[in-house]
């Protein structure tokens, strides 16, 4: 990989404008702070936590700093990132679930709310320059697709941003943001997103004036999140290693963890996931394919570690390494999700494949724990945490472990503490929820933070940790939450959660569950929702149509079907009602009744009835066709209505259209038979 090409491809697309909120003293000796977040990386993947993947740069940070035996994230990308950035439980920041849907509850609105502040906002107010490189994933997908920027990094305290606002991307071929503008990656073979993230971060450090202000950098990798895509030179390092199979490698990791002191000799590893076959029972072809899956995954982590090395080296060149707090962690446990799409199904790490490494290898990444991302067993919420801060960590603690558990909300408290910042009670006219975490500073000198009860809820998977005790449930999508299925573990004696003590100590279980219910009521996590990802998204599209175009064309699809010249835009000047109206400007009509389209897709079930209402206007008399049709079978038209538009605003309504088959449907405005401008607004969809 040519480093110069990466810089040329990624960085100079916009001028580097370093905006300052206030002038700090040149003698400011507060530490710089760098938060590094891996994506979907398991507890045991990196070398200093037992893995065989080559991570010399992270291992060196660990050997010169602290490692936490028990540090916790929020079990999924969006909730963890919300907690990391705000110091609140995810529900308090509006991110109890994912950015995919606004579930019409403040705690599950699908983007950061205005009752929280980010670390960037707090530290910027204290005189820091704030930078972000990588994955955001705490703003609404619908708003993102519509280009609504109100909760993007630059709007939430970051002076500079390079990366993606969504949750995942092709590593070789993608759209990325430079601040609030979007660009497409170069197609000359020089681009790899993990390296681009690292290079951007290194340039931020290189161009920062440390004499004027301390630096805060949030470096949020997408690696090793699916898709499995990596550089061949990195993949080649690992193919032979993983031919040994998951059974042997899992045992090897566990023995290495014990040898380094991460676990005591008497700790037992959880059994292999019963859904995963023994390696020796696979055919040679299956073994070859699975070895390649893990080799690509390892290569993604390897590339991330290379980038961490470049960031550390840039700090060293600037003379700032000793005065910089570097914290590295992962957003959730190993990912067992089954992903398989893309143009090809080959597992070779190229840009036209879109694969995951599956539960089979996620079970290894979770070593020695059970369960994965989504769940609140240790395999879902335990993360490595490496802290490197030569100026602030007692030298006698170098290469040591912190025994006390910590939580993702503690990161904000630590940054506020070391940054000598004031956490606000109000911000931009909004009352701010108080910090929920505690500063990790005592751990840096060998003392305890005395963290108390810590809580989780994600997709009805709940947990509470207090001292050595932990309650936890596992809920399968679509099934009910069962209070009788709450497990109790002694985490000091049984860190891998193998010996359920719920019937032995029922009073302790009930005490912790009562505390959880009190917390859940406070953060508005109730009632619990066990629906699947798809169900939640489908219901959002059904119940909450973007009919007034408040989110621009977010979740709408539009296009031109033939040689017509048609432009779609949001009109803020000529509106039918509200602040925005959809504008369709037909410069050149086509030779068919339908030459362009604007459509909304949704799911409906047999026996339901659909009602649709909308307003339209045209600059001159114009025809359009409105249809309600099956998405996969356009010949099935439930409504097929030619409409005549005039210069007056007209309202059309279609009531109680019966649905006869389960499936995906779309309401579509077909346009382009004649020239002119058409406005559409106030589209209402009611399903009952």
Do 96 and 121 belong to one domain? yes
CB 474, CB 371: distance < 8 Å: yes
How confident is the model over 269-289, as pLDDT tens digits? Answer: 999 999 999 999 999 999 999
Which residue, among 79, 64, 83, 69, has the nearest Cα to 411 in the 3D structure? 83
Domain, as residue range, for 259: 3-451
Residue 262 has pLDDT above 70, yes or no: yes
What confidence score (pLDDT) does residue 6 get? Answer: 40
Is position 527 within any domain?
Answer: yes
* pLDDT band per the 50, 70, 90 thresholds, residue 590: confident
Sign of CA dihedral 437, 441, 444, 450: negative
> What average pLDDT score do residues 603-611 get?
97
Single residue among 426, 451, 476 that ends a domain in this structure: 451
Q: Which residues are catalytic?
A: 77, 137
Do 194 and 270 belong to one domain? yes
Do 171 and 292 belong to one domain? yes
Single residue among 507, 534, 561 that ends a domain in this structure: 534
Is position 151 within any domain?
Answer: yes
CB 502, CB 551: distance < 8 Å: no
> What average pLDDT score do residues 544-569 get?
95
Do 375 and 241 belong to one domain? yes
> What average pLDDT score do residues 200-222 get?
98
Do 301 and 439 belong to one domain? yes
Do 224 and 87 belong to one domain? yes
* pLDDT band per the 50, 70, 90 thresholds, residue 634: confident
Mean pLDDT taken over the chain: 94
Q: What is the CATH number of the domain that holds 233?
A: 3.40.720.10
- Give dist(CA 488, CA 483) in Å, integer: 12
Which range among 69-73, 149-153, 328-332, 631-635 shows the weakest confidence by mean pLDDT?
Answer: 631-635
Do 556 and 433 belong to one domain? no
Is position 214 within any domain?
Answer: yes
Do 348 and 447 belong to one domain? yes
What confidence score (pLDDT) does residue 387 get? Answer: 98
Helix (H) or strand (E) holding 34: strand 32-38
Q: What are phi and psi of 434, to 5 degrees?
A: -60, 155
Do 672 and 559 belong to one domain? yes
Do 262 and 301 belong to one domain? yes
* pLDDT band per the 50, 70, 90 thresholds, residue 18: very low
Q: How many domains does the chain have?
A: 3
What confidence score (pLDDT) does residue 21 get? Answer: 36
> What average pLDDT score do residues 553-576 get?
94
> What average pLDDT score do residues 263-267 get?
97
What confidence score (pLDDT) does residue 594 get? Answer: 85
How confident is the model over 289-338, as pLDDT tens digits? Answer: 999 999 999 999 999 999 999 999 999 999 999 999 999 999 999 999 99
Residue 126 has pLDDT above 90, yes or no: yes
What confidence score (pLDDT) does residue 642 get? Answer: 96
Residues 6+ apart with CB under 8 A from 537: 100, 101
Single residue among 451, 477, 507 that ends a domain in this structure: 451
Residue 582 has pLDDT above 90, yes or no: yes
Is position 357 within any domain?
Answer: yes
Q: How far from chain centre, in Å, is Cα 225?
A: 10
Is position 456 within any domain?
Answer: no
* pLDDT band per the 50, 70, 90 thresholds, residue 632: confident
Is position 644 within any domain?
Answer: yes
How confident is the model over 350-376, as pLDDT tens digits? Answer: 999 999 999 999 999 999 999 999 999
Which residue, among 372, 379, 415, 381, has the nearest Cα to 217 in the 3D structure? 415
What confidence score (pLDDT) does residue 115 get? Answer: 98
Do 552 and 660 belong to one domain? yes
Which range among 4-18, 106-120, 460-474, 524-538 shows the weakest confidence by mean pLDDT?
Answer: 4-18
Q: What is the CATH number of the domain that holds 514?
A: 3.30.1120.10
Q: What is the CATH number of the domain that holds 670?
A: 2.60.120.260
Residue 7 has pLDDT above 60, yes or no: no
């Amino acid at each position: 990989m040519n480093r110069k090409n990466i810089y040329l491809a990624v960085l100079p697309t916009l001028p580097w404008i370093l905006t300052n909120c206030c002038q700090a003293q040149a003698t400011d000796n507060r530490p710089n702070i760098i938060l590094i977040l891996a994506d979907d990386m398991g507890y045991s993947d990196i070398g200093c936590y037992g893995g065989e993947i080559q991570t010399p740069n992270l291992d060196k940070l660990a050997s010169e700093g602290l490692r936490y035996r028990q540090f916790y994230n929020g079990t999924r990308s969006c909730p963890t990132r919300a907690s990391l950035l705000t110091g609140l439980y995810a529900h308090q920041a509006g991110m109890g679930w994912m950015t995919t849907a606004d579930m019409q509850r403040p705690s599950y609105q699908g983007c950061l709310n205005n009752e929280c502040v980010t670390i960037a906002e707090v530290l910027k107010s204290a005189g820091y320059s704030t930078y972000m490189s990588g994955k955001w994933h705490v703003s609404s997908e619908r708003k993102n697709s519509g280009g609504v920027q109100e909760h993007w990094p630059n709007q939430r305290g970051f002076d500079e941003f390079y990366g993606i606002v969504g949750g995942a991307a092709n590593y070789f071929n993608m759209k990325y943001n430079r601040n609030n503008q979007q660009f497409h990656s170069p197609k000359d073979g020089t681009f790899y997103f993990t390296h681009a993230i690292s290079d951007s971060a290194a340039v931020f450090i290189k161009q920062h004036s440390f004499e004027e202000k301390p630096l805060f950098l949030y470096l949020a990798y997408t690696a090793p999140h699916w898709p499995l895509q990596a550089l061949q030179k990195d993949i080649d390092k690992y193919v032979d290693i993983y031919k040994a199979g998951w059974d042997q490698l899992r045992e090897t990791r566990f023995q290495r963890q014990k040898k380094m002191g991460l676990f005591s000799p008497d700790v037992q590893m959880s059994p292999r996931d019963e859904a995963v076959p023994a390696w020796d029972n696979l055919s040679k072809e299956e073994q070859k394919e699975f070895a390649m899956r893990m080799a690509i995954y390892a290569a993604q982590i390897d590339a991330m570690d290379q980038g961490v090395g470049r960031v550390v080296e840039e700090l060293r060149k600037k003379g700032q390494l000793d005065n910089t707090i570097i914290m590295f962690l992962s957003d959730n446990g190993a990912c067992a999700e089954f992903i398989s799409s893309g143009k090809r199904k080959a597992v070779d790490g190229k840009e036209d494949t879109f694969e995951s490494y599956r539960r089979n290898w996620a079970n290894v990444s979770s070593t020695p724990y059970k369960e994965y991302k989504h769940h609140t067993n240790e395999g879902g919420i335990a993360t490595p945490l490496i802290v490197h801060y030569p100026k602030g960590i007692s030298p006698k603690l170098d290469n040591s472990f912190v025994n006390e558990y910590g939580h993702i909300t503690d990161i904000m408290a630590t940054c506020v503490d070391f940054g000598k910042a004031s956490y606000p009670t109000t911000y931009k006219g909004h009352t701010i929820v108080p910090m929920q975490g505690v500063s990790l500073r005592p751990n840096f000198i060998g003392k305890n933070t005395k963290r108390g009860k810590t809580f989780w809820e994600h997709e009805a998977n709940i947990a509470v940790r207090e001292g050595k005790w932990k309650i936890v449930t596992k809920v399968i999508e679509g099934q009910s939450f069962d209070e009788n299925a709450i497990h109790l573990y002694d985490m000091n004696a049984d860190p891998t959660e193998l010996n359920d003590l719920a019937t032995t100590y029922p009073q302790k279980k009930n005490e912790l569950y009562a505390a959880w219910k009190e917390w859940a009521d406070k953060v508005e996590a109730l009632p619990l929702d066990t629906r699947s990802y798809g169900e939640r998204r489908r219901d959002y599209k059904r119940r909450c149509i973007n009919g007034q175009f408040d989110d621009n064309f977010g979740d709408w699809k539009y296009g031109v079907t033939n040689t017509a010249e048609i432009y779609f835009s949001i009109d803020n000047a000529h509106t039918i009602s509200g602040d925005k109206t959809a504008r369709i400007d037909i410069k050149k009509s086509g030779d068919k009744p339908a030459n362009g389209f604007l459509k909304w897709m949704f799911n409906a079930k047999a026996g339901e009835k659909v009602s649709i209402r909308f307003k339209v206007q045209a600059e001159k008399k114009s025809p359009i066709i409105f249809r309600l049709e099956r998405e996969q079978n356009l010949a099935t038209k439930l409504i097929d209505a030619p409409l005549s538009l005039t210069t007056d605003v007209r309202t059309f309504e279609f009531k109680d259209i019966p649905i006869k088959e389960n499936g995906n449907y779309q309401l579509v405005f077909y346009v382009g038979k004649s020239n002119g401008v058409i406005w559409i607004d106030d589209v209402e969809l009611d399903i009952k």
